[in-house]
Structures are given as C-alpha cells and as structure tokens.
Structure 1
Amino acid sequence: MSQLDRRTFLRGAASLGAAGLGLSMAGTSAFAQNALNDIISAPRRGNWDDQFDARASTSSQQQVATNQPVMSPQTVSYVQNAIAEYSNIAMQGGWPQVPGNAKLKLGASDPAVSVLRKRLMITGDLPQSAGLSGSFDSYVDAGVKRFQSRHGLPADGVMGQFTYSAMNIPVDVRLGQLQTNLGRLNEIANVNAQRFVMVNIPAALIEANENGRVSQRHTAVVGKIDRQTPLLVSKIHEVILNPFWTAPKSIILKDIIPVMRKDPTYLTRNKIRLYDAQGQEVPPESVDWNTDEAVRLMFRQDPGKINAMSSTKINFHNSHAVYMHDTPQQSYFNKMMRFDSSGCVRVQNVRDLDVWLLKNTPGWDRQTIENTIKSGENRPIQLADPVPLHFVYVSAWSTGDGVVQFRDDIYKMDGAAELAIGTDA
C-alpha cells in the first residue's frame, strides 16, 4: 500500500464522524465532542470494551512498556542515543523495503520473509541469531509484534497494510522525526512538579506521573485532524462526578432541531431538558421545532450512563473550552486511529484517574467515588492540590532499553509528508 493510499485511507477513517454531524467550528462549539452522536449511539456500559486495556497487555507489548515518563530529562538522553543509532543505520545504507504484496503471518513461507527478518534485525526487533530463512516462525511473529507495539499498531503479528507502511518509511525520515521531537522534548522535559498529567496527542495516550515514574497510563481519544486538540499547559482543579452536559448552539441548530422534527420523543428519551433564560424548564412539546426558536433555550442532559460525558468531567483552566471526560462510547478506545473528538480528550478507565487525581483531597477514596457515581448525584469536587497538566505533541521518543517509539504525524507538525495523514492528499 503506497503512502498516499495509506494517508487517504486513514484520512477517511478519521473524518467519518465529522461528515456524519457536520458540526460548526464557531466559538466553543468546536469542542462539543460529537455529543449528539455519543448520545444517539451510546452502548450501555459494562460491556467487553470496558476491559480493553487489560486485554491488550500481551507479552510483546510488555517488552516495550516502561514506567519512565515521556516528559523527563532521561527521555531526552534516550532520544539522543536513538538519533545516534539511526544515524549509524543511515550511514550503513538504511533498511530494505519489505515487499508488501502478501499478508504474511505465523506459519507462512515466502521469500519476502527473509527481507522482513533483515528489516527487523536492523532495528533490534529480531535477534541476529534468528537467521534469514523464508519461514515466518515464532521468532518473526514476536519481532513483528514488538515492531507493531512501538509504532502504536495492534500487536497481532500480521503483516498488514499499516504495518508494511510503517516499516517501509525510510531511515532518513525516521531520523528527522527523532530530531524534530528532540527539540520538543528539550522544551518540556523538566517538569517542576512531583505529580503531573501528560496527554500525548499523536500517541492518543495519557500518563499520570508521580515522583519521576508513571503511575498510570490511559488510552485516550483526541481531536480530529480538522478539530485538533490544542497544545496547552494548565492545572487540573476540578473533577465532576455525574456531570451535566449542555449542548452548544451549533449542535442544537444543526443536529437536535432536525432530529426533533423527525422524532419528538428524542429529548425525553435521552434525558435532555430545556430551560429558558429565567431557568424555568420548558416542555419540548411547547416548542415550535419548525423554527429556530429552540436555540434561545438551554439544552441540558441529566447525569447518567447515556450522558455525553458519562461518569466524569475533568476541568482545567484554558482558553479553548476543552476538558477531559469519560464517554459512553467505550468502543472508541479499541480503534487504531483514536482521533475522533472535537478537541476534548476522552479517557479510558477514567475512574482510576479520578482516584489518582483526588488522592490528596480528603474524603474522596475509591469507594466514595464509586458510591457517588452509582448514586447518580452531580458532584463537583475541587482538588485540594491542583495537578499540573500538559497537552504535548511528541510523535517519536524513547524511554530506554533500546526501544524507540514512533507515531503518525496526525496534525502535520513534523514537516515530512511520509509521516503525515493528509487532509489534502
């Protein structure tokens, strides 16, 4: 699969949600989180998707796991080592292009496997002792899984289109990616805080860090290519359990009003109440849905499992009107391309993060948090110790043991067309 084809394919996958809702970028409505879609198609919680993080922990992925924070001086040193390593690879001629005309996997026998073995050996994903035979054995399977894990791909051991594409990016492009990200890491590595949260946008990953180590990692969903999650530095000051969700005017006008014309029970079924400027509740049946008068009303969804933010909203001061939150659509975390939001950050296993954030706030242990969520009571909680928060863009890094991580340059910030998922290609 060519790089152009890959970018086109991923572009389409990442923009499906935008085409479905056609939401406006006006004002803060750009960050409305595709809430209407969340509400309409939200599955009830408690399904198998809730266990995605635990099930994803395979032995090959554990090889590339570390509790070293991405934002640390040690990471800068490791990336410098990686640059030296990849420079040496480049001086020796780089790596071969692996023929991508077969979906190779365990048990296959193909001349291309010999090339694949050599490619994996050059970047340390396969030991030299494994040899160069054309057999796709358990050693090659483990090597492919290791490669996939450190490129943010599903570690299934199958040489599919996305694995071929990542594997065949030239060494000079990867070297440039490392050099670009070294500059970024130099700027953000020294965090003067014992506890802080990092959201790495191209990795769609969250780290909760404490005393120089990663305490928790969370899979995230971040902004679409055309509704990007912003880079920012702030402090988390509030956790809201069982939050209300208020629909922005763009969603009211472009989505809810047309739905109500077709299905007058929609608001009631989804527990969305209407309020006038005086705070009085307005019955939906009293509104003329054939006009735009409804935009003068406030649309507020009650807390609960089908709420667009589900159990949790995490607030921090910023000028972009973004926040972090739970979601009823847990299946989004199972996607390879987790760039589906309108700018805010959805957090998998968010209750673990709630507990960590509220650790120093008296009266809020895990049991109390769980009981409050179960009660359905809307409960804003001010953190006793606000936690520093960093939204960063790091698409290449290393946290030791010779493992170098790469991610797609989803927002075209790295300056290399081969790394970007284009919106104009």
Structure 2
Amino acid sequence: MLRTLKLQRIAQRLVGVAVLALLAAPPAAATDDGPLAALRDYKRQAEWSDRFDASLPELRAVNSSHPTLSPEALGRMQIAIGNHGRIAAAGGWPIVSSPRVALQLGARDPNVPVLRQRLAVSGDLTQVSGSSDVYDSYVAAAVRRFQLRHGLSANGILDAPTLIAMNVPVHVRLRQLETNLVRISERAVGLGERYVLVNIPAAEIEAVESGRVRSRHTAVVGKVDRPSPILTSQVHEINFNPYWTVPVSIVRRDLIPKMQDNPSYLADQKIRIYRWGDESREYDVREIDWNTDEATQYMFRQDPGELNSLGTVKINFHNAHQVYLHDTPQKSLFGEGARFHSSGCVRVQNVRELITWLVAPNGWDRGQVDAVIRSGQRRDVPLEVKTPILFAYITAWVNADGVVHFRDDIYNQDRVTTAAYDAGIGRLR
C-alpha cells in the first residue's frame, strides 16, 4: 500500500509538471483532444546526430562507433544495473519540481540546486559548482547530455519532455535495464561479421561490420497501432526506382477513406488500378464503389518518381510481415522527435549510404548507386552476398564508453516482459 501511494504521488507530480510546461508552451501545441493529446504532441524524441553540431563534447561522449549488440554490451549492462541498484538502495535520485517556465541558460530558479543534484546522481553533471540557483553552462551541458541519452531534443533546455524523463523513478529505469539485458543476451550471439540492426524504440538503424558501426541512420518506424515487427532475415535484393504496390491493409484503412474525401487522390498520387495477377487492363476509379470494401479486391500500384511512397529505393528481405526498408519523399519526418509514422515498414535517412554498403560486395560503388537512381529507370539488383538484418526492440542499452541510453517503451513491450518475469516465466536476478 505504501509503495502504491508513493507511485501515485510521483504520477500526480509528473502530471503537474506536464500541465505547467504545457501552459508555458505556445498555444499551437493544444489540440481538440485536450491537454493529454497536447502533451503527447509536445513530447519529442529527436535524433541528435541529424540536428546538432558533432563537435559538441556532450555529443561526442554519448555517441559511439561500437554496436548496440555485442557480447561486451552484456558486461556493460551488468555494470549499469549495479550502479542503478546502488542509487535505488540509497533512496533514488531527487524529484525535480516543475518551474513556472522552461529553464534555459542564464535563468535563475529555486529548482536549479535540486536539478544539479539529480544530474550529478545520474552522472550527467560531473562538475558541481556549489548549490547556485543559476542555470549556468555546466547545467545546460548536463541537461543536453541527459537529453541525448534519452532520445530527446538536445536543446539544453529543461522543458516538459525532459522533466518527465528526468523524474522517472530509478527503480523503473533499473527494471528497464534488467529487461533489456535479457533481450540483448538473446540477440548478441551469432551475429557474424556483417549485419543491419533496426532498433525500433530508438527509431535507428546500424550497419555493422567487423564489430564497428559503419553507418548510423535515423529511421521512421511503425505506428503504435501498426507496429514494426521483431524479425530476423537477410537482405537479398535492392529495387531502384521501384513501383509501390499498396498493401491491402492500407487500401482498407487509408486509401478508401482518402478516395471518399477526394476522388482525384489516386490520379494526384499517380496510383494505377489493376486486378491482382492481371496488369493487361488498367481500371478507372469510377468502376469501383468507394463506399464499400470493393477496392480491396484490386491491386493499386504507384508509378516510380518523386511522389512514390518508397522514394528512390527499396531494400528487400524475406519475412512473413511483408515489411521492408525504403527511402521516402517525406524527408521532413526524419527531423521529428517521435518518429513512429509508418505502417510497419521502415524509412531510412541517408539511404544511399546504406545501399552503397549493402551492394559493395557486388562490386558497386556510390557513383553507380547515384547514377541508377538519377536515371529514373526501374532496376532490381539481387545481392550475391546477403546481409543479415534484425528488427529488435531495445529500450535500454549501454555504449562502449559506459553511457546508459533509455528510450520510450513505445509499443508497451517492457511492461509485458516485466509481467512475464514477475509471473515466474523468468527472473532477472
């Protein structure tokens, strides 16, 4: 009962933090769905590598050329679990109260001394300059480091998403580390010299070779109601300037409603209609009753080009979920915080770099990749060397420099896993 009351108080305080921060936010943050929807919109998880100067010392400390999955990562996770366990045993880290407005460099606020303590406990603030209530450069740098570790917009400002993440109790973070220790131990074996890792909660892709990350890519992954699946496969083919065949699920959920609202939608998007298995005749939109599910009986195919939903390239690997990696014409999505917009497939930023790495064993170089894309011609390239690809769900990990990362449990899998351990299916310690 005491633990329940304590958690309720924490939850109430977090809601208060969110509401106060929302009041300080621009009016445009609000939506017709009320404060909770506004909070969801306000909360962001930006990808630091795409948006910030690589010379920042905080960024260099958080970044790593070592992969998320490796046998060595398990030892680092054990150390982090021990450290968080000691913090929990000592009473946890302090709760930072909500300031009246978001705090940034130069501000003076009575909550800053507690903020310093909180950042020092988690190792983000290494130089503690007394108990000053000034939000100085040391505090701003420590906040930025904290944000980078949690996938937040690394602006160095104590805003609502940062404060919410900062006030997650240490025992929750400890359980998150324990849960992901098991995931990493299951995934970190038999990886081979070369593979692609898609970490869904981080919305990030690693191209790994000989134990080093050759390139990292910001990704856009599946929505909560259309999640990207956990899978293991091999990349076997690259489609340049591809057609996009609209999955039946998207026809039902998206295309039919769009056609009901705008009968010219298919023409605007250069999507053609055929019967499945028969492309000898193209059908007119007026031949389909859009007020029923009749459209699901047809094949909808989008022409290659700048409007194509797959962009300029598609990366194929066999799987039961009909998902793949691809480019996108919506490049602005990569700059967003919460990058969970797709219907299960994964959009890749700087996709040409990844493609070049995948086709290099075939004797291709970047110039050839650019040339075939620039031509606009359809071309399918089977890969002689098939690269393994893994979709994993990792919400906590430790990089080679001992920096601990956490991400939101976007699909609510940590809670499910934790419940399984509590039920006796497995114990972490």
8 A contact 2:116–2:128 mirrored in 1? no
Please state how far the C-alpha of 1:265 moved relative to its aligned partner: 3.8
Which residue matches 1:246?
245
Distance in 2 (CA, whole Å) between partners of 1:180 and 1:72 is 16
Given residue 97 of structure 1, which amino acid in structure 2 is its aligned partner?
I
8 A contact 1:242–1:303 mirrored in 2? yes
Which residue matches 1:149?
148
Please state how far the C-alpha of 1:141 moved relative to its aligned partner: 0.6
8 A contact 2:200–2:393 mirrored in 1? yes
Seen in structure 2, the aligned counterparts of structure 1 residues 110 and 260 have a Cα distance that, compared at 3 Å, is closer
- Alignment partner of 1:218: what SS? strand
8 A contact 1:260–1:289 mirrored in 2? no
Question: Which one has more relative contact order, counting CA pairs under 8 Å at least 6 apart?
Answer: 1
Given residue 269 of structure 1, which amino acid in structure 2 is its aligned partner?
D
Which residue matches 1:349?
350
Which residue matches 2:424?
none
Which residue matches 2:391?
391
Distance in 2 (CA, whole Å) between partners of 1:99 and 1:261 is 49
- Alignment partner of 1:176: what SS? helix
Given residue 94 of structure 1, which amino acid in structure 2 is its aligned partner?
G
- Alignment partner of 1:267: what SS? helix
Which residue matches 2:170?
171
Which residue matches 1:314?
315
Given residue 320 of structure 2, which amino acid in structure 1 is its aligned partner?
S
Seen in structure 2, the aligned counterparts of structure 1 residues 190 and 258 have a Cα distance that, compared at 3 Å, is closer
Which residues in structure 2 correspond to 1:100-139 (within 5 Å)?
100-102=98-100, 103-139=102-138
Seen in structure 2, the aligned counterparts of structure 1 residues 107 and 82 have a Cα distance that, compared at 3 Å, is same
Distance in 2 (CA, whole Å) between partners of 1:296 and 1:129 is 66
Please state how far the C-alpha of 1:355 moved relative to its aligned partner: 0.5
Which residue matches 2:426?
none
Which residue matches 1:48?
none
8 A contact 1:74–1:399 mirrored in 2? no
Distance in 2 (CA, whole Å) between partners of 1:301 and 1:200 is 29
Which residue matches 1:336?
337
Unaligned runs of 5+ in 2: 1-11, 19-34, 419-429
The match for 1:56 among 43, 52, 56 is 52
Given residue 227 of structure 2, which amino acid in structure 1 is its aligned partner?
Q
8 A contact 2:48–2:154 mirrored in 1? no
Which residues in structure 2 correspond to 1:10-409 (within 5 Å)?
13=41, 53-58=49-54, 59=56, 60-102=58-100, 103-253=102-252, 255-257=254-256, 259-260=258-259, 263-276=262-275, 277-282=277-282, 284=284, 287-289=287-289, 294-362=295-363, 364-409=364-409
Distance in 2 (CA, whole Å) between partners of 1:390 and 1:129 is 42
Q: Deviations over 1:195-223 (max 9, x none)?
A: 10101111111110000011110111111
Distance in 1 (CA, whole Å) between partners of 2:338 and 2:228 is 14
Distance in 1 (CA, whole Å) between partners of 2:252 and 2:400 is 51
Please state how far the C-alpha of 1:131 moved relative to its aligned partner: 2.5
Distance in 2 (CA, whole Å) between partners of 1:298 and 1:63 is 50
Q: Deviations over 1:395-421 (max 9, x none)?
A: 111013231101111111222899xxx
Q: Percent identity?
A: 47
- Alignment partner of 2:233: what SS? strand
Please state how far the C-alpha of 1:194 moved relative to its aligned partner: 0.8
Given residue 370 of structure 2, which amino acid in structure 1 is its aligned partner?
E
Please state how far the C-alpha of 1:63 moved relative to its aligned partner: 1.9
8 A contact 1:2–1:165 mirrored in 2? no
8 A contact 1:173–1:416 mirrored in 2? no
- Alignment partner of 1:70: what SS? coil
Which residues in structure 2 correspond to 1:409-420 (within 5 Å)?
409-415=409-415
Seen in structure 2, the aligned counterparts of structure 1 residues 413 and 112 have a Cα distance that, compared at 3 Å, is same
Distance in 2 (CA, whole Å) between partners of 1:11 and 1:224 is 18
TM-score after normalising by structure 1: 0.83
Seen in structure 2, the aligned counterparts of structure 1 residues 234 and 402 have a Cα distance that, compared at 3 Å, is same
Seen in structure 2, the aligned counterparts of structure 1 residues 291 and 92 have a Cα distance that, compared at 3 Å, is closer
Given residue 366 of structure 2, which amino acid in structure 1 is its aligned partner?
R
Seen in structure 2, the aligned counterparts of structure 1 residues 335 and 286 have a Cα distance that, compared at 3 Å, is closer
Seen in structure 2, the aligned counterparts of structure 1 residues 247 and 108 have a Cα distance that, compared at 3 Å, is same
8 A contact 1:267–1:284 mirrored in 2? no
Distance in 1 (CA, whole Å) between partners of 2:97 and 2:116 is 12
Q: Deviations over 1:282-333 (max 9, x none)?
A: 2526625567555443221111111010111111111111111111111111
After superposing the two structures, state which structure 1 stretch, 306-315 or 282-291, moved more.
282-291
Distance in 1 (CA, whole Å) between partners of 2:407 and 2:36 is 17
8 A contact 1:202–1:409 mirrored in 2? yes
Distance in 1 (CA, whole Å) between partners of 2:349 and 2:128 is 40
Distance in 1 (CA, whole Å) between partners of 2:272 and 2:60 is 47
Distance in 2 (CA, whole Å) between partners of 1:322 and 1:146 is 34
Please state how far the C-alpha of 1:124 moved relative to its aligned partner: 1.1
Given residue 299 of structure 1, which amino acid in structure 2 is its aligned partner?
F
Given residue 198 of structure 2, which amino acid in structure 1 is its aligned partner?
V
Please state how far the C-alpha of 1:375 moved relative to its aligned partner: 1.1
